[in-house]
Amino acid sequence: MFSEIAGSLPPVLADFMPGAPIGDRVAWDAVSDDMRSAVMRDAEAALGRSWSVIKASDYREYSLNGNRSRFEALYFSRRRMLNDLVLAELLEAKGRFIDAVVDGIFLICEESGWQLPAHNAYERGGQRFALPDTEQPVVDLFAAETGALLATAAALMRDGLDEAGPQVVARIEREIRLRILSPYLDRHFWWMGNGRERMNNWTAWITQNVLLSAFALKTDQGLRLRVVEKALSSLDAFIKDYADDGACEEGVVYYRHAALCMAGAMAILDTVAPASMAPLWKAPKIRSMADYIVNMHVAGRRYFNFADSAAVIEPCTVREYLFGKAVGSDVLAAFAARDRLSSEHKHLPEEWNLWYRVQELLVTPEAGGEAKLAGDTFYPGIGLFVARDDRFALAVKGGNNGESHNHNDVGSLTVYKDGKPFLIDVGVETYTAKTFSSERYDIWTMQSGFHNLPTFGGVSQAPGADFAARDVHAEFTEKQAQVFLDIAAAYPVEARVQSYRRTVTLRRGQEIEVVDIHEGELPAVLSVMTCVEPIIDHAIHFDGLGRIDLEGAGGIEVEAIDIDDARLRISWPPRIYRLRIPFAGTCLKLRIV
């Protein structure tokens, strides 16, 4: 798909300017007053702070106890500060922030490794080394992000940086060559793609940022051609794992690092090789990948989540808007333009990618299109069913337990009523070493027993692509939407379950009905997850929300779960609840009203 254009590349690949250079005062003076004030406020605060100190012991902590967050706080604070200072200088152009910008650039250039400790490995799933090897750089997500940040700063601020000393841009160019471009071209990292091996967001995310580094700097044509040819191959390796329906199996959070980064890579390629992406922008598969985020939206900042996605995410930005415009999706462009207006922080103060922040300041989405509400959707590639009416929004996930960022959640459902969470997918806690280790499924949020799914004699679903939904199909009519699936194959043999047929029906304007019928040798107990305290009598009541009527249930147990993880608290209150509903026979029916 992408590699097909390699033979028609122009003889000279152009530069890529990731925004307006500092000398373009018309562009920077046109930035809105509210955005300008927000950036200047953050930059002036940054001038009064000290840069974080990163010690070897901070880097080693991950190898000692698995904690990621403490090192990453130090690492990302430098990059956010540099972002703030660069943007302020671009807006003001008086030299007030130059000294601090140079300090930040040199601090980052003098780090022993740009890769995170959690990614300090040379093979997929390989040994994580306690400290970086300065002679063998690892190109991971954030090494590539760091290269892109520095390349963007050099491209936009070259004149100002040269006044501070020619060594500044030269240092950036040298470090990016040694840490990013040379290892990118001279060795194979797993995320580049290898035959049929499955890729994930890393492929698109890193490829975009390598392209940005290569073309924002003054690199030679031979290097540029080699980078483009390798990038095109990697983008093919990335997109091959998407079905034609365009669904992101990693969930809506990773859409922004996957399909949206693919779009960023395409935008760079379209500039350096003009019109090279024109046929691909029109491809139905890429259009479907773009629209995915709209179909996952529920209300406000709430989205249907599964895998390692959160239920509450940040509003859309200019990036989604530009993706929609590029693929001709008026629905996505209008949705993104409207959603962006809901953001309290349009200048993206928590973002470490400078290119994204520059786009946010310089591009004003046109809000003229009508932002239509998403309707019913079925993604057969991952077995994802979504249905809605005026009150309910329902999602049911089929698929398999070998998907990227899997949670052993085949067959789980999520329900919103009037935009409020009713039956929930908890999501994922703050990442640690355990999250991506052989102990992943010891974490409670990764277990099917903490999704809206059954256990059999306490046995939960098993990980791996063979543990999957079977016989999945969906039907949509004016009066109802319905999905059928058998999830017995998602459980290991110890569960001793022969079949588990789940039928979920949205009767528009009335109710959601869940009918579970099982054949097996062990007691079946259905877990139901909610963030509203249940009151149980003849039914299950949720104050201010609704109720669940039951048929075929035994005595219900309620477990309160206190939420103290910072990542989960973005989506949920301090306490959520798990209901354990035993089957009285072979059939259990829930009516959600």
- Domain identity same for 357 and 382: no
Which CATH number is 78's domain given?
1.50.10.100
pTM, two decimals, is 0.96
Average pLDDT over residues 136-143: 98
pLDDT in tens, 48-105: 999 999 999 999 999 999 999 999 999 999 999 999 999 999 999 999 999 999 999 9
**Of the candidates 241, 581, 564, 299, the residue with the CA atom closest to the CA atom of residue 418:** 299
Within-domain flag for 59 = yes
Within-domain flag for 2 = no
Give pLDDT, residue 446.
97
- Domain identity same for 328 and 413: no
Average pLDDT over residues 284-299: 97
Other beta carbons less than 10 A from residue 449's beta carbon: 19
**Of the candidates 567, 380, 405, the residue with the CA atom closest to the CA atom of residue 483:** 380
Give the Cα separation of 164 and 168 in Å (integer). Answer: 7
Is the confidence at residue 174, as pLDDT, over 80?
yes
pLDDT in tens, 535-586: 999 899 999 999 999 999 999 999 999 999 999 999 999 999 999 999 999 9
Within-domain flag for 62 = yes
Helix (H, G, I), strand (E, B) or coil at 530: strand
How large a percentage of the chain has pLDDT more than 90? 98
- Domain identity same for 554 and 433: yes
- Domain identity same for 386 and 275: no
Q: Which two tokens stand for residue 412?
A: 């789980």
Is the confidence at residue 590, as pLDDT, over 90?
yes
- Domain identity same for 402 and 346: no
Mean pLDDT over all residues of the chain?
A: 97
Backbone angles phi, psi at 377, to 5 degrees: -150, 140
Give pLDDT, residue 314.
95
Instruction: Note whether 149 and 358 are within 8 A (CB).
Output: no
Average pLDDT over residues 411-429: 98
Is the confidence at residue 135, as pLDDT, over 90?
yes
Within-domain flag for 7 = no
Last residue of a domain, one of 362, 386, 413: 362
- Domain identity same for 113 and 224: yes
Give the Cα separation of 470 and 501 in Å (integer). Answer: 9
Give pLDDT, residue 232.
98
Last residue of a domain, one of 328, 362, 396: 362
- Domain identity same for 329 and 393: no
SS (H, E, C) 483-499: EEEECHHHCCHHHCEEE
Backbone angles phi, psi at 173, to 5 degrees: -60, -40
- The vertex-30 CA angle with 28 and 35, nearest 5°, equals 85
pLDDT in tens, 13-22: 999 999 999 9
Half-sphere exposure of 307 (CA within 13 A, CB side): 22
Within-domain flag for 493 = yes
- Domain identity same for 307 and 401: no
Which CATH number is 564's domain given?
2.70.98.70
Is the confidence at residue 31, as pLDDT, over 90?
yes
Domain of residue 107 covers 18-242+253-362
pLDDT in tens, 356-405: 999 999 999 987 666 566 799 999 999 999 999 999 999 999 999 999 99
Within-domain flag for 420 = yes
**Cα 321 → chain centroid:** 17
CA dist 511 → 203, 225, 298, 354, 589 (Å) = 42, 58, 17, 46, 13
pLDDT in tens, 463-486: 999 999 999 999 999 999 999 999
Within-domain flag for 372 = no
DSSP assignment letter at 403: S
pLDDT in tens, 315-362: 999 999 999 999 999 999 999 999 999 899 999 999 999 999 999 999
Average pLDDT over residues 120-135: 96
**Cα 68 → chain centroid:** 18
Radius of gyration of the chain (CA): 25
Within-domain flag for 368 = no
Residue 3: its H or E element: none
Question: Roughly how many angstroms between the first and final C-alpha of the chain, as a whole number?
Answer: 47
Instruction: Note whether 526 and 581 are within 8 A (CB).
Output: yes
Give the Cα separation of 258 and 340 in Å (integer). Answer: 20
Taking 3-state DSSP, the helix, strand and coil percentages for the chain, each rounded to the nearest 5, stand at 40, 20, 40
Strand pairing partners for 482? Answer: 475, 505
How many independent structural domains does the chain possess? 2
pLDDT in tens, 208-265: 999 999 999 999 999 999 999 999 999 999 999 999 999 999 999 999 999 999 999 9
Residue that has been written with the tokens 């005595």 in this structure: 555
Q: In what order do the strands lie in the sheet with 524-530?
A: 454-456, 524-530, 575-582, 557-562
Last residue of a domain, one of 362, 393, 426: 362
- Domain identity same for 166 and 66: yes
Q: Which two tokens stand for residue 405?
A: 């960022």
Instruction: Note whether 243 and 215 are within 8 A (CB).
Output: no
- Domain identity same for 345 and 470: no
- Domain identity same for 342 and 393: no
Instruction: Note whether 541 and 558 are within 8 A (CB).
Output: no
Average pLDDT over residues 131-151: 98
- Domain identity same for 332 and 470: no
